[in-house]
Amino acid sequence: MAVKDAISADTTERANFVGSMYGQLVLYPVPKDAPPLFIAMASNDPLSVQGGFELINDWQKAGRSVELHLFAEGGHGFGILKQGTTSNLWIE
pLDDT digits (tens, 9 = 90+) for 41-71: 888 888 776 666 788 888 999 999 999 888 8
Inter-CA distances, 83 with 5, 53, 56, 57, 62, Å: 32, 25, 27, 30, 36
CA-to-CA distance for 76 and 78, rounded, in angstroms?
6
Position 9 pLDDT exceeds 70: no
Handedness of CA 45, 47, 51, 54 (dihedral sign): negative
pLDDT score, position 86: 74
75: number of Cβ within 10 Å:
19
**The pTM is what?**
0.73
Domains along the chain with CATH numbers: 3-89 (3.40.50.1820)
pLDDT score, position 24: 67
Strand order in the sheet with 37-42: 18-21, 37-42, 66-71
pLDDT digits (tens, 9 = 90+) for 14-32: 778 887 776 666 667 888 8
Q: Could you tell me if residue 26 is left (phi over 0), alpha (psi between -120 and 50 degrees) or otherwise beta? A: beta
